[in-house]
Structure 1
Amino acid sequence: MEPESLYNLLQLPKEEALPEEEQQLPQGAKKKYLPPNSRKDPRFEKLQKVLMEWVNTTLLSEHIVVRSLEEDMFDGLVLHHLFQKLAGLRLEVEEIALTAPSQRRKLQAVLEAVDRSLQVEEQPARWGVEAIFNKDLLATLHLLVALAKRFQPNLSLPANVQVEVVTIESTKSGLKSEKSVEQLTESSTDEDQPSKDVFDELFKLAPEKVHAVKEAIVSFVNQKVGRLGLSVQSLDTQFADGVILLLLIGQLEGFFLHLKEFHLTPSSPEEMLHNVTLALELLKEEGLLSHPVSPEAIVNKDTKSTLRVLYSLFSKHKLKTHADGAPGRAPH
């Protein structure tokens, strides 16, 4: 089929033409296509960001970091640990699936447990083994929204997220398409309330998990500053003067901080505030602080603010490996 006839068939502008793989569907096959204008919708992008932060905070103590919902959820590994954490149960499935068939079997077992927990009656559900395994972003988002509504109903999801999708079907006469709108979140969600970051939700809804999160971050920090002969025992107190925080940022972000720029042994609240303010400015310059943090809060040993700052570094630099024996994004 010539490109022009395909554009006419889909009634899409040329810049939204289907990728080549979408034009090669086997006869009788049907697939959803998410046009670029839908992917770039601000509400759609915000929904992905909120869900990713929620998943990463939930799994922080297990040293799992998700960077792409499509790429990191498809094989069942992350979903396995996420569901176990949320539901408070253990699934008898293989821990690491290395081949495509075993990944598919694992994903199917996890999704069956998820569907039972969510009491899914819709058949087929808006997600399924084939959709998730084939990295269908819409199906993945439908699944995560359902899990959030079930296990963390107060999570501040953006309201009324809906996107236009194109369903492509391969027939004897060529490709046929149909446009539709998929609703991802309900319009009744109160998006006008000030947005909360994941640590607001953690302290409010799951205070029992705070200790585990703190331990995971302290372990991460000690791996990085140990080469400097430093050791962190208390997240609550040892970052208040900004010294370890600055040295950690220097190690991770490759900054060389001259001793004239900060106080290595601060002796007053003013010197501590200078150090912390400098550290936050460096993080802002690197685009790592998505939630405002007051330097005074760090100096005053506010645990939540300290966690926000350290998590911004953790989420960027924590490698998804099994080097420490914890589950991560290992080779499939």
Structure 2
Amino acid sequence: MEPESLYNLLQLPSEVALPTEEQLPQGAKKKYLPPSSRKDPKFEELQKVLVEWINAALLPEHVVVRSLEEDMFDGLILHHLLQKLAGLRLQVEEIALTAASQRRKLEVVLGAVNRALQVEEPQAKWSVEAIFNKDLVATLHLLVALAKHFQPSVPLPSNVQVEVVTIESTKSGLKSGKSLEQLTTQRSTGEDQPSEDVLDELLKMAPEKVRAVEEFADGVILLLLIGQLEGFFLHLKEFYLTPSSPAEMVSLPEVHNVTLALELLRDAGLLSHPVSPEDIVNKDPKSTLRVLYSLFCKHKLKASADGTPCGTLH
């Protein structure tokens, strides 16, 4: 079947460049995501969670990911992420400028990732070729595996499936087909209907007190609270004591105070969910409560004799 005749059959946009028989070697396959798959809410949610997780993990390195499809292919961010998660620093050039050097770097980084995940290359759902060619499905398989292995608390959406179009070169020409890719698994029966997020419950129980969390928007009170509970002193030169205006709060580099507070919590192992400093500065109540609740959990358990676990409301 000629590539031109596949567009309507597979519901692909006309601007998608389908391969010809000459471009796709015999036995080779290439995957495409139709628009309906890209717009699937759970597929979009999975990408959002992974982007927030990576950005939270790499916040101290000032690395920002905006598109998993465009930002992960050259191995740069994967290398930073592997360093953060596994403590591995590889002997590769920091910035690879040419396509050949980027591919070499990706090959080294991906080899280290596979060893860390204890995945043999033939069994992996990703490859150097797929990641380097910005295969979003392969990239998501890789990132989901990293999150599950190193940080299983990352709230990945359950049972994410996506329909993909595969073009394969055979002896008789190009062959096309559709299939479902399973990106995350279905939770067990006990997890299919998880209890309501404790933070949502808190917001419902005391909506009139939500305004109180706005006091933490500039990060000063949060920093003082962390220092008091964790038993250390932060010198005043480490943060901005009194931002002169709300505009200054947002314009400070990296929303400095809140970023510093989140780094302290992360270093102490207290943040299991990614939190954006901008959300705290913008007075998002759920993000602020998540940070405060992480402190509450640790120090409630320290002080409690009955061992009541966090997440139990009384």
Q: Output one character per residue of 1:97-116: Cα deviation in whole Å (capped at 9) or x when no partner.
A: 11111111111111111101
Q: Output one character per residue of 1:9-35: Cα deviation in whole Å (capped at 9) or x when no partner.
A: xx434xx35644114343424201111
**Equivalent residue, structure 1, for 2:178:** 179
- Paired residues of 2:3 and 2:18 also in contact (CA < 8 A): no
- Following the alignment from structure 1 to structure 2, what is the Cα–Cα distance between the partners of residues 48 and 146? 14
| TM-fit CA distance, 1:6 | 2.7
Alignment of 1:145-156 (within 5 A): 145-156=144-155
- Following the alignment from structure 1 to structure 2, what is the Cα–Cα distance between the partners of residues 160 and 126? 17
SS of 1:21's equivalent?
coil
Quickly say closer, same or farther: Cα 1:192–1:56, change in 2 above 3 A. farther
Does residue 1:22 correspond to 2:22, yes or no? no
The letter of the residue matching 1:245 is P
Alignment of 1:283-302 (within 5 A): 289=279, 293-294=284-285
SS of 2:18's equivalent?
helix
Does residue 1:245 correspond to 2:243, yes or no? no
| TM-fit CA distance, 1:125 | 1.2
| TM-fit CA distance, 1:173 | 4.4
Q: Output one character per residue of 1:200-233: Cα deviation in whole Å (capped at 9) or x when no partner.
A: xxxxxxxxxxxxxx9xxx9xxxxxxxxxxxx974
The letter of the residue matching 1:168 is I
TM-score (norm. length: structure 1): 0.59
RMSD: 3.5
SS of 2:152's equivalent?
coil
Alignment of 1:192-231 (within 5 A): 192-193=193-194, 194=196
Quickly say closer, same or farther: Cα 1:303–1:185, change in 2 above 3 A. closer
| TM-fit CA distance, 1:188 | 1.1
- Following the alignment from structure 2 to structure 1, what is the Cα–Cα distance between the partners of residues 132 and 58? 21
Over the matched positions of the two proteins, sequence identity in percent amounts to 60
Alignment of 1:32-181 (within 5 A): 32-121=31-120, 123-171=122-170, 173-181=172-180
TM-score (norm. length: structure 2): 0.62
Quickly say closer, same or farther: Cα 1:155–1:176, change in 2 above 3 A. same
**Equivalent residue, structure 1, for 2:10:** 12
| TM-fit CA distance, 1:123 | 1.1
| TM-fit CA distance, 1:303 | 10
SS of 1:98's equivalent?
coil
Q: Output one character per residue of 1:171-216: Cα deviation in whole Å (capped at 9) or x when no partner.
A: 454431121111000101747545699xxxxxxxxxxxxxxxx9xx
- Following the alignment from structure 2 to structure 1, what is the Cα–Cα distance between the partners of residues 13 and 181? 20
Quickly say closer, same or farther: Cα 1:128–1:18, change in 2 above 3 A. farther
The letter of the residue matching 1:247 is E
| TM-fit CA distance, 1:2 | 7.0
- Paired residues of 1:107 and 1:129 also in contact (CA < 8 A): yes
Aligned residue-pair number: 227
- Following the alignment from structure 1 to structure 2, what is the Cα–Cα distance between the partners of residues 100 and 56? 25
- Paired residues of 1:52 and 1:69 also in contact (CA < 8 A): yes
| TM-fit CA distance, 1:74 | 0.5
Quickly say closer, same or farther: Cα 1:130–1:247, change in 2 above 3 A. same
- Paired residues of 2:140 and 2:183 also in contact (CA < 8 A): yes
- Paired residues of 2:10 and 2:165 also in contact (CA < 8 A): no
**Equivalent residue, structure 2, for 1:281:** none
Quickly say closer, same or farther: Cα 1:127–1:2, change in 2 above 3 A. closer
SS of 1:80's equivalent?
helix
Q: Output one character per residue of 1:139-182: Cα deviation in whole Å (capped at 9) or x when no partner.
A: 11000000000110011100000011111023454431121111
Structure 1 stretches lacking a partner, 5+ long: 198-213, 219-230, 253-287, 306-332
| TM-fit CA distance, 1:89 | 2.5
- Following the alignment from structure 2 to structure 1, what is the Cα–Cα distance between the partners of residues 107 and 198? 33
| TM-fit CA distance, 1:94 | 1.6
